[in-house]
């Protein structure tokens, strides 16, 4: 990587004019979820922006986050790697393997000391170092070693940000998030299972453009992508306001595109950009396809009760238990309220399985 | 120009039409330009289609070929422009509504003018 080679040099080398550069800046504003009024500042920043070295580490993960980022359309993964960043280490995407791959990581760390971005996907097992290793190095040690001279860390996916699926009850590997181990570096959490492709590339583009980390919320997420709830930005929100809900997945309400709240939609408590950035090159997002949001960008979403239970409903059948309570002489509403609270607490502690019956 | 304005009935396009109306008022009264980035709004493809259909097409169409192709057209409401970028580094088309006298991106840039002047002088020397 050329240390002095700026993005503008790169674009000019492709014969792109100043007008084309300004167009590039306006598109970058969209990519960064920034208002068009900030285009002049973006242009000024990009004139001297240099391509940062990126080291991508994968720990206890399913490669879904990498699968997702390779579907990025703005920028495309090719453009991201060749125009925006210098991707110096990534298990799945790099050509080198074995010792050559590890040598590439060590060289990138040496050449870009205190300047490279470390991207991590997957949680880190702390129960036994042998649970997950790379080139004989356990995940925790590799994270500590590589984070030492990183300028910033981007934790992508719910596993790296909050522990994710490996962290779900009973958490057999004692999996933890990046932020549980690294305390002395700025960490940008980009959760999602997987995260939206252009949210991942947008965070990298923000670092490239401004050389700083974006504003973060209390869970370490960039506000520009996680500042609104799915519910607030949902195109079905007007149906919620009118009290028009689909009751089953195939009733008239579902066919008419009514709100999916009663079918378990976690949109009201989930913060992400699905409703605006969308998936598959901006085609749609789960709610647009008729599926309720499962809240995958929130901590412990696997353990928060059934995916198809409404947020306002207890996680066990109130009807049967309340009837039993009446028979016993208790007041049904009081019993239901108590059951609701205890069920929620239990669900948070105990993984709640979903069967096909829940979907009917 | 199509004088018959079709009424847009889709729920998420209506608020954008209100925003355009307010922006057009600002342009008319204070010459203040506004840009609306449709990709940052919760709109379905049907919403976008219906919004663009309601705005219609006016007298000006421009194609820009730099860093990918872009098209600009003035809608049937003078001062309201639709800009669509197909970036060279992206497979997704991005759509903006610009409420302005003329999209600033179409104006010649100082650096390009200087570059063009140098090339012209080279040809003539």
pLDDT at A264: 94
Q: Are residues A220 and A73 in the same domain?
A: yes
Contacts of B96 in chain A (CB under 8 A): 26, 36
Answer whether residue A36 is part of any domain. Answer: yes
From A37-46, A188-197, A327-336, B3-12, the region with the lowest mean pLDDT: A327-336
pLDDT at A222: 94
Across the interface, whether the CB atoms of B67 and A74 are under 8 A apart is answered no
From A147-156, A349-358, B114-123, the region with the lowest mean pLDDT: A349-358
pTM reported for the whole predicted model: 0.76
Across the interface, whether the CB atoms of B47 and A24 are under 8 A apart is answered no
- Give chain B's contact residues with A (Cβ, < 8 Å): 11-12, 35-37, 39-44, 47, 64, 66-68, 70, 85, 87-92, 94, 96, 105, 108-112, 115
- For chain B, the average pLDDT equals 86
Answer whether residue A134 is part of any domain. Answer: yes
Answer whether residue A210 is part of any domain. Answer: no
Residue A276: which of B40, B66, B88 has the nearest Cβ?
A: B40
Q: Does A319 touch chain B (CB under 8 A)?
A: no
Answer whether residue B117 is part of any domain. Answer: yes
Q: Are residues A67 and A91 in the same domain?
A: yes
pLDDT at A349: 55
- Give the total number of structural domains in chain B: 1
Q: Are residues A142 and A31 in the same domain?
A: no
Across the interface, whether the CB atoms of B94 and A74 are under 8 A apart is answered yes
Per-residue pLDDT reduced to its tens digit, B43-69: 778 888 999 999 999 999 999 988 778
- Give the total number of structural domains in chain A: 3
Per-residue pLDDT reduced to its tens digit, A55-110: 999 999 999 999 998 887 666 777 777 677 888 999 888 888 888 999 999 999 99
Per-residue pLDDT reduced to its tens digit, A151-196: 999 999 999 999 999 999 999 999 999 999 999 999 999 999 999 9
Contacts of B89 in chain A (CB under 8 A): 74-76, 79, 83
Q: How many angstroms separate the CA of residue A317 from the nearest CA in chain B?
A: 35
Domain that holds residue A20: 1-50
Q: Does A288 touch chain B (CB under 8 A)?
A: yes
Contacts of B105 in chain A (CB under 8 A): 19, 22-23, 26
Section A210-214 average pLDDT? 85
B114, pLDDT greater than 90: yes
Domain that holds residue B78: 14-124
Contacts of B42 in chain A (CB under 8 A): 233-235, 237, 275-276
pLDDT at A333: 37
pLDDT at A343: 46
Residue B66: which of A19, A29, A288 has the nearest Cβ?
A: A19
Section A248-262 average pLDDT? 95
Section A271-291 average pLDDT? 90
A323, pLDDT greater than 70: no
Across the interface, whether the CB atoms of B90 and A73 are under 8 A apart is answered yes
Per-residue pLDDT reduced to its tens digit, B67-97: 778 999 999 999 999 999 876 666 667 899 9
Per-residue pLDDT reduced to its tens digit, A109-146: 999 999 999 999 999 999 899 999 998 999 999 999 99
A214, pLDDT greater than 70: yes
pLDDT at A254: 95
Section A322-340 average pLDDT? 42
Q: Are residues A63 and A186 in the same domain?
A: yes
**Among A70, A77, A34, A72, which residue's Cα sits nearest to residue A209?**
A34
Domain with residue A249: its CATH number is 4.10.480.10
Q: Are residues A241 and A355 in the same domain?
A: yes
Q: Are residues A24 and A57 in the same domain?
A: no
Q: How many angstroms separate the CA of residue B36 from the nearest CA in chain A?
A: 8
Answer whether residue B3 is part of any domain. Answer: no
Q: Are residues A66 and A9 in the same domain?
A: no
Q: How confident is the model at residue A44 (pLDDT cuts 50, 70, 90)?
A: confident
Contacts of B12 in chain A (CB under 8 A): 235, 238
A340, pLDDT greater than 50: no
Answer whether residue A102 is part of any domain. Answer: yes
Answer whether residue A309 is part of any domain. Answer: yes
Contacts of B36 in chain A (CB under 8 A): 36
Q: Does A75 touch chain B (CB under 8 A)?
A: yes
Residue B92: which of A35, A233, A282 has the nearest Cβ?
A: A282
Q: Count of CB contacts below 8 A, A vs B? A: 93
Q: Write out chain A in H/E/C secondary structure.
A: CCCCCEHHHHHHHCCCCHHHHHHHHHHHHHHCCCCHHHHHHHHHHHHCCECCEEEEEECECCCHHHHHHCCCECCEHHHHHHHHCEEEEECCCCCCCHHHHHHHHHHHHHHCCCCEEEEEECEEECCCHHHCEECCEEHHHHHHHHHCCEEEEEEEHHHHHHCHHHHCCCCCCCEECHHHHCCCCCEEEECCCCCCHHHHHHHHHHHHHHCCCCCECCCCCEHHHHCCECCCCCCCHHHHHHCCECCCCCCHHHHCCCECHHHCCCHHHCECCHHHHCECCCCECHHHHCCCCCCCCCCCHHHCCCCCCCCCCCCCCHHHHHHHHHHCCCCHHHHHHHHHHHHHHHHHHCCCCCCHHHHC
Q: Are residues A24 and A113 in the same domain?
A: no
ipTM of the complex: 0.77
Answer whether residue A206 is part of any domain. Answer: no
Q: Are residues A263 and A347 in the same domain?
A: yes
Across the interface, whether the CB atoms of B108 and A21 are under 8 A apart is answered no
From A37-46, A131-140, A329-338, the region with the lowest mean pLDDT: A329-338
Q: How many angstroms separate the CA of residue A31 from the nearest CA in chain B?
A: 9
From A235-244, B8-17, B22-31, the region with the lowest mean pLDDT: B8-17
pLDDT at A357: 55
Q: Does A40 touch chain B (CB under 8 A)?
A: no
pLDDT at A50: 78
Domain with residue B68: its CATH number is 3.30.1370.140
pLDDT at A330: 39
Q: Are residues A173 and A289 in the same domain?
A: no
């Amino acid at each position: 990587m050329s240390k002095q080679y700026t993005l503008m040099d790169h674009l000019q080398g492709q014969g792109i004019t100043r007008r084309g550069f300004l167009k590039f800046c306006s598109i970058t504003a969209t990519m960064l979820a920034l208002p068009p009024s900030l285009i002049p500042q973006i242009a000024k920043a990009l004139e001297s922006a240099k391509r940062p070295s990126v080291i991508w580490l994968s720990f206890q993960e399913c490669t879904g986050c990498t699968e997702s980022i390779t579907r990025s359309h703005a920028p495309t993964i090719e453009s991201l790697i060749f125009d925006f960043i210098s991707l110096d280490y990534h298990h799945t995407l790099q050509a080198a393997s074995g010792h050559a791959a590890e040598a590439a990581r060590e060289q990138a760390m040496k050449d870009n000391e205190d300047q490279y971005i470390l991207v991590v996907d997957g949680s880190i097992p702390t129960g036994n170092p042998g649970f997950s290793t790379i080139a004989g190095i356990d995940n925790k040690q590799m994270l500590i070693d590589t984070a030492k001279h990183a300028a910033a860390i981007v934790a992508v996916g719910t596993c790296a940000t909050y522990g994710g699926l490996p962290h779900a009850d009973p958490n057999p590997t004692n999996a933890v998030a990046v932020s549980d181990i690294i305390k002395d570096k700025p960490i940008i959490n980009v959760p999602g299972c997987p995260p939206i492709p252009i949210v991942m590339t947008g965070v990298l583009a923000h670092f490239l453009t401004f050389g700083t980390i974006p504003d973060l919320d209390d869970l370490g997420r960039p506000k520009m992508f996680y500042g609104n709830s799915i519910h607030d930005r949902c195109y079905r929100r007007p149906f919620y306001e009118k009290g028009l809900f689909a009751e089953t997945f195939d009733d008239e309400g579902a066919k008419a595109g009514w709100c999916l709240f009663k079918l378990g939609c976690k949109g009201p408590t989930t913060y992400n950009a699905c409703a605006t950035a969308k998936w598959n090159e901006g085609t749609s997002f789960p709610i647009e396809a008729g599926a309720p949001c499962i809240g995958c960008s929130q901590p412990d979403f696997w353990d928060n009760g059934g995916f198809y239970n409404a947020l306002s409903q207890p996680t066990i059948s109130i009807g049967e238990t309340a009837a039993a309570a009446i028979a016993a002489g208790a007041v049904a509403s009081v019993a239901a309220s108590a059951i609701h609270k205890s069920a929620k607490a239990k669900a948070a502690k105990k993984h709640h399985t979903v069967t096909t019956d829940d979907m009917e | 120009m199509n004088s018959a304005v079709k009424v847009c009935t889709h729920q998420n396009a209506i608020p954008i039409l209100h925003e355009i109306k307010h922006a057009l008022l600002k342009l008319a009264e204070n010459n203040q330009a506004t840009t609306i980035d449709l990709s940052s709004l919760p709109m379905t493809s049907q919403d976008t289609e219906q919004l663009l259909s309601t705005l219609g097409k006016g007298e000006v169409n421009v194609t820009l070929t730099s860093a990918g192709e872009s098209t600009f057209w003035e809608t049937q409401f003078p001062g309201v422009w639709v800009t669509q970028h197909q970036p060279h580094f992206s497979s997704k088309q991005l759509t903006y509504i610009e409420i302005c006298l003329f999209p600033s991106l179409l104006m010649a840039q100082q650096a390009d003018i200087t570059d063009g002047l140098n090339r012209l002088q080279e040809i003539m020397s």
